[in-house]
Amino acid sequence: MGNRLFRKSRTKVDKHSEVTLSCRPIKPLRKTNYGGANSNFPRPIAQLRHNRWYESNDALNDELEEEIHCCTFLPDDESILVTCSTPCGPIFRSYEGRGHFRVFDINSGSCRKEILTHHSQGCDISADGDLITFITNLGRGEVALVKRSRDTRGGIIEEKVDKFQPSCTGITGQTLCCKFSPDAAFIVSASSLDFHSIRETNELRLWNVKSMQTVKRIVLRDVTDFCGFVTSCEFSPDGQYIAVTTFQEQLCILKSKNFDIVSVLRKRCRGNKCWCVFNPRWKCEVLACCLQDGRVEVWKKLDHPASCEIKYICEKEHKVSISQQLCSCRYSPDGLMLAVGTSDANIMVLNGDTLDTLFCLDCKLESIPDSFRPRFQNTNVHCVAFSKSQQYVAAGYSDGLVRIWAMPVRFDLKHLCRVVILHNVPSSEICSLPIPCGIKGYILNTYS
């Protein structure tokens, strides 16, 4: 059955791809709880608590904390954050599989919308901000799709949630991640386990948003040299490729059009969890991979026109942490910074090109108020998200909190002008401004 949610505001980037752009200027986040308005130091300014009262006959009746696996800002509203979370801690084993998709107002700290899911670890928002996808896993690994409503509290009406429901021969178990293509015409989802056969699946599916039908599927365990459970999947900025990482240190690149394998970048299996993300400054040429053992790599695409062969090589590798494990990574919208989350509640912000450490978002510092400090001794940073203006970073921690950080002020006239323009001009109208194309690309962070 078709889907009436399909409406796009598109801007041509090159002859091969399109990207969606918001028809509204960015609504800025109001300065909140901590620190001055302008500072050369990063500082936490808000936190969002994730918990839920579960009925039980045990003596442990209480609000159960939930660890946050995914968070992302709305591209046209820096005051709204969407998250996915699951119960945490050994005493909550009876609640495994429960979880929530939530919409938060950062300014007030309140949850505007809450939808019960089952072990939901992924959500994403289209570039124009009109569509949201998240995982429900209500028995068959469903991927949900909703259109934001401007007239309802939280912007989501639960009764109007559409679900991509695969047949029982497909994704029948736990789906881990879902991502929009740059033009929001497709969603890629990755599953890891079939609940019926208790068998590893590692299946990717490409869904058509308009028809809500499967376009392509591939079972990765059948691919030569592939091993491990999927940890992440990401579209390239031009939408031509999909990168997949696993628990076994593998990084695999596929063509998004037909799921042909371009390259399996690591053929060894070492039991080392990893994640990857494409650099938004480029079409598909550069991507970063962070590994659990503390390494960060930058891979670069090499083209061989004569043989039509595509290869990625590891251009740079840097051990950014010796004592801490890495748990997540995310590029800033302009690709100049790479944020890496650790197992010690730290977020290391690296130079996107050199991998040198620029600064660290550490909520254990003495200068940080007690209310922002980690609640557990070992707290993982499961996810990191930059706001569109790059003034704020949100991070999901395993202690049940999302902490919002204000970034150091960048005394860069170009960057400050970009922020002002994005807060006053809709992204979809920037291309019509009487300014050079290079400046338009800089404002929109479109790739070179």
Cα–Cα distance, 72 to 106 (Å, whole number): 12
Residues 6+ apart with CB under 8 A from 334: 280, 281, 390, 445
> How big is the chain by its Cα radius of gyration, in Å?
21
Strands lying side by side in the sheet with 309-319: 274-278, 286-291, 295-304, 309-319
Positive/negative CA dihedral, 348, 353, 291, 123: positive
In this prediction, residue 407 carries a pLDDT of 92
CB 275 within 8 A of CB 296: no
Residue 290 carries which side chain, given as an amino acid letter? C
Residue range 368-401, pLDDT digits in tens? 888 899 887 789 999 999 999 999 999 999 998 9
Cα–Cα distance, 120 to 175 (Å, whole number): 8
Residue range 63-101, pLDDT digits in tens? 567 889 999 999 999 999 999 998 875 544 444 557 889
CB 394 within 8 A of CB 384: yes
Q: Token match 């995982």: residue? A: 135
| CATH architecture observed for domain 10-412 | 7 Propeller (2.130)
Report the pLDDT averaged over residues 51-64. 53
CA–CA distances in Å: residue 287 to residues 136, 244, 330, 431: 29, 11, 10, 27
Residue 171 above 50 pLDDT?
A: no
The structure's pTM equals 0.88
Q: Token match 């009436």: residue? A: 4
Percent pLDDT > 90 in the chain is 46
Report the pLDDT averaged over residues 168-194. 77
Residue 359 above 90 pLDDT?
A: yes
Residue range 239-288, pLDDT digits in tens? 999 999 988 888 999 999 999 988 888 777 778 899 999 999 999 999 99
Q: Is 79 exposed, middle or buried (0-12, 13-18, 19+ CB in 10 A)?
A: buried
In this prediction, residue 303 carries a pLDDT of 73
Cα–Cα distance, 253 to 46 (Å, whole number): 37
Residue range 17-54, pLDDT digits in tens? 467 788 889 999 986 665 545 567 889 999 999 876 55
CB 348 within 8 A of CB 393: no
Q: How confident is the model at residue 229 (pLDDT cuts 50, 70, 90)?
A: confident
Q: Give the residue from 165, 174, 181 showing the smallest Cα distance to 121.
A: 174
How many other C-beta atoms can be found within 10 angstroms of the C-beta atom of residue 229? 19
